[in-house]
Amino acid sequence: MRKSMLAIPIALLASLSPTVLRAADITYNVNQSVGASGSVTGSITTDGGTGVLGTADILNWNLVVNDGTNPTFDLIGMTNSAEEVVGLDLSATATQLLFNYSGSDGGFFLLENLTIGDGGPFACFEASAGCSSAPPGESLAALDGEGDEVFTALEGTGVIGTTGVAPTPEPGSLLLLGTGLVGLVGMGWRKAVA
């Protein structure tokens, strides 16, 4: 009887798929100034992971790149642009998307139209001159559709975007918590009966 009572919570936990238990996607609002009057604004969505992020963690983006003088250019995830994360400088918390501009591994986070390396319009967060013609050093660079590149020298860890609110727990996380509590209550009840 004891083994069968323990088998129920274990079977419930085993039946949960990893996709149900993963964190909720997080969308960060981006509002960055670049150069004298340029900007990169919009949003970047991640898979909800925290800590160091890689290319696979970036799910979508919708950014407007503006050099301050020419028409703006939209970078829209998977529609007209691609992304690449190199190094360990891009990270996230539940409420902030961060980049370490002083990273020593030559890392960068690049969003570029149409494909990486084709010289199209881009937004690049870089710890060294890795994806723009900005002078070596830490910078946020943007290139609009007219071919005008602007950049801002930055250092330390900077906030790329914020959510403003902490994400709510996923239903799978709540189910896991509930299953654990039911198991604890069941164990306590068995001890009380015995």
> Does any domain span residue 154?
yes
Q: 143 in a domain, yes or no?
A: yes
Is 104 within a domain? yes
**CB-based contacts of 174: which residues, under 8 Å, 6+ apart?**
none
Classify residue 99: in a domain, yes or no: yes
Count of domains for the chain: 1
This prediction's pTM: 0.72
The answer to whether the beta carbons of residues 19 and 48 sit under 8 Å apart is no
Distances (CA, A) of 76 to 53, 83, 116, 134: 20, 10, 14, 23
The tens place of each residue's pLDDT in the chain, 194 residues long, gives 455 555 555 544 445 444 444 579 999 999 999 888 888 999 999 999 999 999 999 999 999 988 887 778 888 988 899 999 999 999 999 999 999 988 888 889 999 888 888 877 888 888 876 677 766 555 677 776 666 788 888 889 999 999 975 445 555 555 666 666 676 666 666 676 66
**Residue span of the structural domain in which 46 resides:** 25-166
CA distance 82 to 192: 60
- What backbone torsions phi and psi does residue 180 show, to the nearest 5 degrees? -65, -40
* Cα-only R_g, the chain: 22
pLDDT of residue 145: 62
What's the CA gap between 16 and 181, in Å, rounded? Answer: 16
User: Would residue 175 count as lying in a domain?
Assistant: no
36 found inside a domain: yes
Instruction: Tell me if 3 is assigned to some domain.
Output: no
pLDDT at residue 97 in the model: 98
Determine the pLDDT at residue 98. Answer: 97
Task: For residue 180, give the amino acid letter.
Answer: G
Does residue 59 sit within a domain? Answer: yes
DSSP string for residues in 60-93: EEEEEEE-SSSPPEEEEBTTTEEEEEESS-EEE-
